[in-house]
C-alpha cells in the first residue's frame, strides 16, 4: 500500500483513495472524511469570557445542572451551546461516550477507578472524575483490547 500526503496551502482540498476492494480500513477512512467538518475547536463560554477550546485541551464534555459543560486540561469549566448529540458527530474519534450525559477525551483519561458502589469512574489528568456506565465501560474495554 502506498501513502502520499501533499500539503499545499493554495490547493483545494481533495482526498483520493484507490483500492482494489473495500475493507474495514476503507470504511473507517470514508467515515472519518465524511465526519470531518474542518474545525478542530468549539466555542466555549466562561464566567466573563468567550473563547475557542481546541479538542486537544478538552478533557470531558458533560451535563452539569442541565447545561453542557466542557472541562479543560486545567479543570476549568466552560459552557457550550451545542447539545451532546450534536457534538457526538462533530468530535474526533478519540472522544468516547462514557455515560448518557458525558463524552470523554480518550487521550486525557489518566485511569479508571473502581468505586465502592461497584461502578467505575474515569479519572482525568486535571483531577476531574466522571462516572462510567456499565454499558459504555464494556464498549471501552473492547476498544482498548482491540488496540
Q: How confident is the model over 85-105, as pLDDT tens digits?
A: 988 878 888 899 999 999 999
Return d(Cα 133, Cα 53) in angstroms, integer: 26
Give the pLDDT confidence score for residue 145 in this predicted structure: 85
Give the pLDDT confidence score for residue 15 in this predicted structure: 79
The whole-number average pLDDT for the span 50-69 is 94
The whole-number average pLDDT for the span 65-78 is 95
Return d(Cα 68, Cα 81) in angstroms, integer: 7
Give the pLDDT confidence score for residue 25 in this predicted structure: 85
* Cβ atoms of residues 124 and 104 within 8 Å: yes
Q: Where are the domains of the chain?
A: 41-145
* 3 has pLDDT over 70: yes
Sign of CA dihedral 137, 141, 142, 146: positive
For residue 10, give the C-alpha cell: 493554495
Return d(Cα 120, Cα 112) in angstroms, integer: 6
* 13 has pLDDT over 80: no
Summarize the chain as % helix, strand, coil (round to 5): 25, 35, 40
Residue percentage of the chain with pLDDT more than 90: 52
Q: How far apart are the first and last CA of the chain?
A: 21
Query: What does CATH list as the number for 41-145?
Result: 2.40.50.1020
For residue 47, give the C-alpha cell: 464566567
Amino acid at each position: 500500500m502506498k501513502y502520499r500526503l501533499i500539503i499545499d496551502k493554495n490547493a483545494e482540498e481533495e482526498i483520493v483513495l484507490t483500492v482494489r476492494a473495500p475493507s474495514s480500513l476503507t470504511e473507517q477512512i470514508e467515515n472519518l472524511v465524511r465526519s470531518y467538518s474542518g474545525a478542530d475547536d468549539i466555542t466555549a463560554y466562561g464566567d466573563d469570557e468567550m473563547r475557542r477550546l481546541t479538542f486537544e485541551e478538552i478533557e470531558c464534555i458533560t451535563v452539569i445542572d442541565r447545561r453542557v459543560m466542557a472541562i479543560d486540561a486545567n479543570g476549568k469549566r466552560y459552557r457550550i451551546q451545542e447539545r451532546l448529540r450534536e457534538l457526538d458527530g462533530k468530535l474526533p474519534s478519540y472522544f468516547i461516550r462514557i455515560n448518557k450525559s458525558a463524552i470523554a477525551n480518550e487521550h486525557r483519561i489518566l485511569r479508571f477507578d473502581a468505586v465502592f458502589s461497584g461502578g467505575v469512574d474515569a479519572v482525568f489528568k486535571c483531577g476531574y472524575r466522571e462516572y462510567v456506565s456499565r454499558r459504555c465501560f464494556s464498549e471501552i474495554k473492547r476498544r482498548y483490547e482491540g488496540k
